[in-house]
Amino acid sequence: MGIIATALAYVLGIASTRLLGSRLASFIALAEVIAALLFGWLLLGQLPNLLQGIGAALVLVGVVVVKLGEPAASVAGDPVLPG
């Protein structure tokens, strides 16, 4: 069962990287750290300290900045102008 879950996670990770683009996918992968912080808090009762909260906020801000910096996807049928 563990092999199936690992293989599925791997395939979904590759597919999502292709859909999101490598730049955005790399920043979203940093959200794993935030998930670990939240699971540690919720499941183990480990309260995050101020520095960890600031780090989580910086990761989220980085993801938003990267997403805002991406060029808008063109709609099918729109002419693509060089420039």
Domain boundaries, the chain: 2-69
| Token pair in block for residue 79 | 């002419």
Q: Can you tell me the distance from the alpha carbon of 65 to that of 17, in angstroms, rounded to the nearest whole number? A: 18
pLDDT beyond 80 at 27:
no
pTM higher than 0.85 for the full model?
no
Q: Of residues 81 and 62, which shows the higher confidence score?
A: 62
Residue 4's pLDDT is: 93
Contact partners, residue 56, CB within 8 Å, separation at least 6: 33, 34, 37, 48
Torsion of CA 19, 20, 25, 27, to 10 degrees: -170
pLDDT tens profile 1-16: 889 999 998 899 889 8
pLDDT beyond 90 at 76:
no
Q: How confident is the model at residue 50 (pLDDT cuts 50, 70, 90)?
A: very high
Q: Are 28 and 20 in contact (CB under 8 A)?
A: yes
